[in-house]
């Protein structure tokens, strides 16, 4: 009997206790040591070791990322996430150059400006809610800039994104309720309607932005259809905003708890790229990625049937001591860091280079201007499950001397 697919409004980690959500590494180790591959009701078959995860990522013909793997209320498969090989290749051939490191380097200046404009709003107060005033608006503003849209659209973007990923913020009731499903569907439809309207404008007049590039792009000699462009935009909105926010929350959540390592970044900013990679490995904001099995297979003695859902626990894979001898140690000078925080295989995150650019600039500029900061005394950080973000992150700030 096939396992039930995890819905977008029914995170398999929603009931995780606060301590585990904040520090999931001990749970990961327990699972790796006891049952590295096991069926979990409402989630699917959970995989926690690097060896089995590699098998899943290497074989998309068996472990598919198609639309059955995750329900986001989208009417068609999202491109390129829910398109498997061989068709997947033609879309990556088009999209990969747009998000290549060389292209992302060209927007470093605008990202730097966005970071500093956000910091300007609160630095003189000596305090900030990091989540509400920095980690949430920052990636959305970068995204709006890429699309050539006004920052005035920020509230709408956040509402659309949260309507799919975090509908409980707007609709009270049990996960999976008819009301919640209806609200998610309404928000999903609004995303398509919104981008359809913007594309109508770009059809009449091209701008120097991503949407105009999509309209002019070709895949194997054919232009993208309107539906294909809309499916790409839907994925970018859902996948590109929340994950960067969560990563910033996790990075700064770690740094407020480890001031000695934070000081390393202040003293030597050149280590920031390596530090970010290490914190992506250790914190792994996106705890798991789903797949669906297209065949009957067996892993570590556990049968996986055709139609079963498979959840690869990225955080556990990243802290697997069988793959990395000192996986339980956070080292900012780690030279080799083959983490899978962005996934792996053909479906590795398309926006990983953009995310890295955003994270590097944000961490660099923050510590240049605010070398000292701390969690407000008496407060505690509460991490959400699934995508490990922090809704309330009050800080006290000590800006750099000018």
Range of the domain at 141: 18-398
The strand pairing partners of 128, in sequence order, are: 395
Backbone angles phi, psi at 383, to 5 degrees: -90, 140
Give the confidence band of 5 by pLDDT, cuts at 50, 70, 90. Answer: very low
Beta bridge partners of 375: 395
In a domain, 312, yes or no: yes
Does any domain span residue 3? no
Could you say which DSSP state residue 103 is in? H
In angstroms, the CA 274 to CA 253 distance is 17
| pLDDT tier, 175 (very low <50, low <70, confident <90, very high otherwise) | low
Give 3-state DSSP helix, strand, coil % of the chain, rounded to 5.
Answer: 50, 10, 35
Q: What CATH number corresponds to the domain at position 222?
A: 1.10.630.10
> Which pLDDT does position 8 carry in this prediction?
40
pLDDT for residue 173 = 67
| 3-state SS track over 251-266 | HHHHHHHCHHHHHHHH
Mean pLDDT for the stretch of residues 179-192: 93
Task: Judge whether 287 and 385 are in contact, CB under 8 Å.
Answer: yes
Q: What pLDDT, on the 0 to 100 scale, is given for residue 42?
A: 81
**Residue 288 domain-assigned (yes or no):** yes
Domain presence at residue 372: yes
pLDDT at residue 10 tops 80: no
For residue 4, the model assigns a pLDDT of: 38
So what's the pLDDT on residue 15?
60
Identify the pLDDT of residue 9: 37
* pLDDT score recorded for residue 229: 95
Got the DSSP string for 170-228? TS-S-TT-HHHHHHHHHHHHHHHHHHHHHHHHHHHS--SSHHHHHHH-EETTEEPPHHH
Torsion of CA 56, 60, 63, 68, to 10 degrees: 140
- Return d(Cα 301, Cα 304) in angstroms, integer: 10
* pLDDT over 50 at 385, yes or no: yes
What pLDDT, on a 0 to 100 scale, did the predictor assign at position 13? 58
Tokens of 210: 């991503």
Res 351: pLDDT: 94
The answer as to whether 215 is a domain residue is: yes
Closest CA relative to residue 243, chosen from 362, 147, 164, 352? 352
Per-residue pLDDT of 85-123, as tens digits, reads: 999 999 999 999 999 999 999 999 999 999 999 999 999
Residue-wise DSSP of 186-200: HHHHHHHHHHHHHHH
Spatial strand order in the sheet of 37-40: 37-40, 44-47, 309-313, 288-293, 63-64
For the residues of 244-312, what is the DSSP string, one character each? HHHHHHHHHHHHHH-HHHHHHHHH-GGGHHHHHHHHHHHH-SB-EEEEEESS-EEETTEEE-TT-EEEE
Q: Quick check: 399 pLDDT over 90?
A: yes
Can you name the residues that pair with 303 across neighbouring β-strands? 298
Is residue 8 in a domain? no
pLDDT at 43: 86
Chain centroid, CA 323 distance in Å:
23
Q: Which tens digits make up the pLDDT trace of 210-262?
A: 999 999 988 778 889 999 999 999 999 988 889 999 999 999 999 999 999 99
Find the mean pLDDT for residues 165-170. 82
Helix axes 154-165, 226-257, angle to 10 degrees: 90
In sign, the C-alpha dihedral spanning 63, 66, 68, 70 is: positive
**How many structural domains is the chain composed of?**
1
The answer to whether residue 2 sits within a structural domain is no
In a domain, 136, yes or no: yes
Query: What is the C-alpha to C-alpha distance for residues 369 and 291, in angstroms, rounded to an integer?
Result: 42
Q: State if pTM tops 0.85.
A: yes
Dist. CA 49–CA 2, nearest whole Å: 22
In degrees, rounded to 5, the angle at the alpha carbon of residue 9 between the alpha carbons of residues 8 and 12 is: 80
Mean pLDDT, rounded, of the chain: 92
174: confidence class by pLDDT, cuts 50, 70, 90: low
- pLDDT digits 0-9 by tens, 346-356: 999 999 999 99
The 3-class SS string of 104-165 reads: HHCCHHHHHHHHHHHHHCCHHHCEEEHHHHHHCHHHHHHHHHHCCCCHHHHHHHHHHHHHHH
Q: What is the mean pLDDT of residues 140-150?
A: 93
Whether the per-residue pLDDT at 7 is higher than 90: the answer is no
Please tell me the distance from the alpha carbon of residue 358 to that of residue 273, in angstroms, as a whole number: 11
């Amino acid at each position: 009997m096939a396992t039930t697919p995890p819905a977008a409004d029914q995170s398999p980690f929603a009931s995780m206790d606060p301590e585990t959500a904040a520090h999931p590494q001990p749970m990961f180790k327990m699972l790796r040591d006891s049952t590295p591959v096991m069926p979990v009701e409402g989630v699917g078959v959970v995989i926690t070791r690097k060896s089995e995860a590699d098998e899943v990522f290497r074989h998309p013909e068996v472990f598919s990322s198609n639309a059955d793997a995750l329900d986001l209320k989208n009417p068609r498969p999202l491109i390129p996430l829910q398109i498997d090989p061989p068709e997947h290749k033609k879309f990556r051939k088009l999209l990969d150059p747009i998000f290549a490191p060389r292209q992302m380097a060209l927007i470093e200046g605008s990202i730097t400006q966005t970071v500093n404009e956000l910091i300007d709003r609160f630095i003189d107060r000596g305090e900030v809610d990091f989540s509400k005033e920095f980690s949430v608006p920052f990636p959305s503003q970068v995204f709006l800039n890429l699309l050539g849209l006004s920052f005035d659209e920020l509230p709408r973007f956040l509402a659309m994104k949260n309507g799919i990923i975090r509908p409980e913020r707007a609709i009270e009731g049990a996960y999976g309720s008819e009301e919640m499903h209806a609200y998610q569907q309404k928000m999903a439809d609004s995303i398509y309607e919104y981008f359809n309207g913007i594309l109508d404008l770009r059809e009449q007049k091209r701008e120097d932005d991503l949407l105009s590039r999509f309209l002019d792009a070709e895949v194997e000699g054919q232009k993208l259809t309107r539906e294909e462009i809309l499916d790409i935009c839907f994925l970018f909105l859902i996948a590109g905003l929340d994950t960067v926010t969560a990563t910033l929350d996790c990075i700064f959540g770690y740094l407020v708890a480890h001031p000695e390592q934070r000081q390393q970044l202040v003293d030597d900013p050149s280590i920031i790229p390596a530090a970010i990679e290490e914190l992506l490995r250790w914190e792994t904001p996106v705890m798991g990625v789903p797949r669906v099995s297209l065949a009957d297979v067996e892993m570590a003695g556990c049968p996986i049937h055709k139609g079963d859902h498979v959840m690869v626990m990225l955080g556990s894979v990243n802290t697997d001591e069988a793959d990395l001898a000192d996986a339980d140690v956070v080292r900012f000078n780690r030279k080799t860091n083959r983490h899978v925080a962005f996934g792996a295989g053909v479906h590795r995150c398309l926006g990983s280079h953009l995310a890295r650019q955003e994270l590097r600039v944000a961490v660099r500029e923050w510590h240049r201007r605010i070398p000292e900061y701390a969690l407000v005394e008496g407060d505690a950080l509460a991490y959400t499950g699934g995508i490990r973000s922090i809704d309330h992150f009050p800080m006290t700030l000590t800006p750099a001397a000018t």
